[in-house]
Structure 1
Amino acid sequence: MTQTDLSAAAVASPADFQPHVEFRDVRKTYDGETLVVKNLNLDISRGEFLTLLGPSGSGKTTSLMMLAGFEVPTSGDIRLAGRSIAGLPPHKRDIGMVFQNYALFPHMTVAENLAFPLSVRKRPRAETEERVARALRMVHLEKFGARRPAELSGGQQQRVALARALVFDPQLVLMDEPLGALDKQLREHMQLEIKHIHQSLGVTVVYVTHDQTEALTMSDRIAVFNHGMIQQIDLPDRLYQQPCNSFVANFIGENNRLTGVVRDISGGMCRVELPTGESVLATAVSVDRAGQPTTLSIRPERILLDRGASDDSGNGRENRLGARVLERIYLGDHLRLRLAVADNDDFMVKVPFADDAQTFQAGHDVSVRWAVEDCRALDPV
């Protein structure tokens, strides 16, 4: 299945589904030659929290900016609530926006910042005051209305920016890496806070980030971008546990890779020969015939570790390979062991921290094993 076909299949919906946001064959180029976004087809349901995830230059932010109205598609159409918004300027799209740099007015108080979107829409004064008070309560800043942005911490400023995007009850909220400027602890706290606000309000959110943990924590669905295309769009757990190709497997979470050649394939499984001559069984995902090169994907937490090397492999539903411990890394609640397995000297295993974990030391020969269902044969890297 091609990446274009994959994108179309991944967003397929029931016949009675009415998407809130629709991208239809959207393309974007800045120089007339290189496509930053390639034939994007995407449906977003009402009330959904969808994250656009990918590395820099993958097309995720450009897609968000086209939805916001700050960029114009080269071709294709974008629809909101059933109507095309291609010709609408940003301020007429009924969209709230949260930026990484907050974009608060420094000369205004917090309350005045929140009131600004309402004054632009000519809301009555009494309604404006009530909405501002409600928005401040929502982000737990009731006592900060008279302060100016410079008097607030980074986390407080981000709360104000979020409240301002929501104060006029937009039908859609867009967030462009809004937590990127915060430290780790505050960023994790704000992830949960934004998630809880979304759950309480039920507003549609499109969120852009390159932080995979952030995406997994907050999203209803995640669309993984690379080279201007959606590689996979899915629920967070399915995206992590069932990546459709090597890019997704390597970009989402930690991933162990082993290279090999498919020797036979049957019933959704395949036998893969490694460069060392050993064989393992895997779920056939991106392979369909013998002789194909493949990259095997196995998550570190799916691997079990036994003392002593073993040359036993591919028996029943379990794979087993000999390995050598190269390095141990203490992380409090667990150990990370770096192993040499087949042709990979960076094969990582997570071991729960217990008394017997001390027995796995650098230089020890061990064996690793995992179930066939946890090993995916993907496209070669």
Structure 2
Amino acid sequence: MTQILEAESSADDALTDDLCFARFINVQKSYDGVELVVKNFNLDIRKGQFVTLLGPSGSGKTTCLMMMAGFETPTHGDILLKGEPINGLPPHKRGIGMVFQNYALFPHMTVAENLAFPLEVRHLSKDDIKQKVQRALAMVRLEEFGDRRPAQLSGGQQQRVALARALVFEPELVLMDEPLGALDKNLREEMQYEIKRIHANLGVTMIYVTHDQTEALTMSDRIAVFNDGVVQQLATPETLYEEPENAFVAYFIGENNRLCGEVVELQGDTCRVRLDSGDTVLAKPVAVSEVGERTTLSLRPERVSILDTGDATVDNCFTARVEEVIYLGDHLRTRLSVCGNDEFILKTPNAVGNTGLRPGQEIRVGWSRGDCRALDV
């Protein structure tokens, strides 16, 4: 299926020309001259920001990155770097560092020679090359590995070398395309913090592509969430998690309970929703505007509380049956049957009083209207 990509920076994200370091302006992309795979993509990036393009495979995020790098050319629109259009500029003249998932290291060269290569093509002196290579190795904590070849390194070490090579010539912009996708969980987490540390120390602008929402939340200043070729929301990690604007963002960023129903009352910052189960829930209207509208309620599992008998101090209180309890060390993940949903998840910290739940047990649970968002279906 052909996917269309369309995004607009919000008013809060729009930057003046003197503050904007990189910019996409009404960018479109077609490979066959007929079908657009990127449509009206607009994004302003401030100098020193870490911006992530997040979404499932095939959603268009990598195409946008490749157009910034110069490996793809926009069909329409402009890409600016420091206020200057770069559409027709070849990749090697853009001064942009690039990190790929497959590392793209030269196997016949040592680590130091791999790092020296982008400096040699820029005709730096031997003394300058040696100094910058040593500085880059220290930056990724591989000072003792300069004489080794890539095959003699672990996957995490190879990715550090690839990162060092992208930074060795001191670019102002670094692009990363799923750079941690080939690493195991522990190495991924280690490299996430490593990249974040380097970004903080250098202040270099970074544009990062990933389909891993935890990775995006961990590393980014701002995240553009892609789905079906459209940027659904552009915001900070906290805003995306706490204030998703539609159902896709809510369910792609973190875990959510979803309850379906119809708006029966709408007043100010509160709506009353009659669920398909017949229960009534108070929620915050986000993507609903009229009575009778279908909606999906979004509720984070950690925002659900276990209530004492007779406690009705929260906006929404229901009796739930415990279906399954999974011990995950620092917290318990409990599957409940409530409001007609047998897959309703409750997350509770592993603390005294929270470990006694058993399948078949009936409990009272509740949540506030502000934590329950009425979104699109």
Give, as a single letter, the amino acid of the residue that structure 2 aligns with 1:298: L
Distance 1:10 1:227 in 2: 24
Return the letter of the residue paired with 2:200. Q
Instruction: Kindly indicate whether residue 223 of structure 2 is the aligned counterpart of residue 226 of structure 1.
Output: no
| Structure 1 contact 259–343 (Cα < 8 Å) conserved | no
1:46-85 to 2 correspondence within 5 Å? 46-85=47-86
Closer/same/farther in 2, CA of residues 17 and 344 from structure 1, 3 Å limit: farther
Q: TM-score of the superposition, structure 1-length normalised?
A: 0.94
User: Relative to structure 2, which stretch is displaced further, 23-32 or 234-243?
Assistant: 23-32
Partner SS state of residue 354, structure 2: helix
Match of 1:328 in 2: 325
Q: How does 1:78-157 map to 2 (within 5 A)?
A: 78-157=79-158
Which residue of structure 1 aligns with residue 365 of structure 2? 368
- Report the secondary structure of 2:232's partner residue: strand
Letter in 2 for 1:289: E
Answer with 58-67 or 341-350: which moved more.
341-350
The 8 Å contact of residues 10 and 233 in structure 1, kept in 2 or not, is answered as no
Partner of 2:42: 41
Per-residue CA shift, 1:104-157, capped at 9, x if unaligned?
Answer: 000111110000000111111111111001001111111111111111111111
- Could you list the runs of 5+ residues in structure 2 that have no partner in the other structure? none
Equivalent residue letter for 1:136? L
Which secondary structure state, in structure 1, belongs to the residue aligned with residue 20 of structure 2? coil
Query: What residue number does 2:335 align with?
Result: 338
Matched-pair contact (CA < 8 Å) for 2:6–2:41: no
8 A contact 2:6–2:229 mirrored in 1: no
| CA distance in 1 between partners of 2:112 and 2:17 (Å) | 42
Q: CA deviation at 1:316?
A: 7.2
Q: How does 1:163-242 map to 2 (within 5 A)?
A: 163-242=164-243
Gaps of 5+ in 1: none
The Cα RMSD (Å) is 1.9
8 Å CA contact 1:11, 1:43 repeated in 2: no
Count residues with an aligned counterpart: 374
Q: Please give the secondary structure, in 2, of the residue aligned with 1:103.
A: coil
- The structure-2 alpha-carbon separation of the partners of 1:53 and 1:10, relative to structure 1 and needing over 3 Å to count, comes to farther
Q: Is the 8 A contact 2:335 2:346 kept in 1?
A: yes
Q: Distance between the aligned counterparts of 1:273 and 1:34, measured in 2?
A: 42
Distance in 2, matches of 1:226 and 1:215, equals: 15
Seen in structure 2, the aligned counterparts of structure 1 residues 123 and 46 have a Cα distance that, compared at 3 Å, is: same
| CA drift at 1:192 | 0.4
**How much does 1:59 deviate?**
0.8
User: Residue 4 and residue 112 in structure 1: after superposition, are their counterparts in 2 closer, same or farther (change >3 A)?
Assistant: closer
Which TM-score applies when normalising by structure 2?
0.95
Residue 317 of structure 1: how far off its partner (Å): 5.6
Q: Deviations over 1:243-299 (max 9, x none)?
A: 000000000000110001011111121111111222111111001111100000000
